[in-house]
Amino acid sequence: MTISELTVSDVAAYLKIEDADLTESETGIITAMLNAARMYVQNYTGRDTEYLDQHPEVAIAALCLAGDFYTNRDMFTNIKGTGTASVNKTVQSILDMHRFNLLPSEEVEDV
């Protein structure tokens, strides 16, 4: 299986969701997450789909990402047992790939 061959059904199976149990809304969400996982892999590696399709292990990475997107849908997550919140590292890394100012967020002052 290649990254371009991945389908909503593949992601649903990875998430242990039966196709028959998917609502139209969930199908739309999983489609968006699959597309985001593909783009994440392309942006992270700087490689195009043609190159990525030659490496089947990349499809597994995309499935892992789509699963993470589905399971961890919030920007901030609670750190178990501490009562504090942590930034979702997947969301942060996606946004970091598209940052214009390139300064770490803690160094950016409010204007």
71 pLDDT higher than 90: no
Residues 26-50 have pLDDT tens digits of: 999 999 999 999 999 998 888 999 9
pLDDT of residue 111: 46
Residues 14 and 59 grouped into a single domain: yes
Q: Which residue has the higher pLDDT, 95 or 70?
A: 70
pLDDT of residue 92: 78
Residues 17 and 48 grouped into a single domain: yes
Whole-model pTM: value is 0.74
Residues 43 and 3 grouped into a single domain: yes
Owning domain of residue 21: 1-73
Q: Of the candidates 1, 24, 12, 2, which has an alpha carbon nearest to the alpha carbon of residue 66?
A: 12
Residues 5 and 19 grouped into a single domain: yes
Residues 84 and 49 grouped into a single domain: no
Indicate the DSSP class of residue 98: T
109 pLDDT higher than 70: no
Q: Of the candidates 99, 80, 102, which has an alpha carbon nearest to the alpha carbon of residue 91?
A: 99
Residues 85 and 31 grouped into a single domain: no
Q: How far is CA 56 from CA 5, 11, 41, 71, in A?
A: 10, 15, 13, 23
Per DSSP, the three-state class of 24 is helix
Residues 43 and 60 grouped into a single domain: yes
Per the prediction, the chain carries an average pLDDT of: 84
Judge whether 52 and 41 are in contact, CB under 8 Å.
Answer: yes
Residues 6 and 50 grouped into a single domain: yes
pLDDT of residue 3: 96
Q: How far is CA 78 from CA 14, 38, 85, in A?
A: 25, 27, 4
Q: What is the count of structural domains for the chain? A: 2
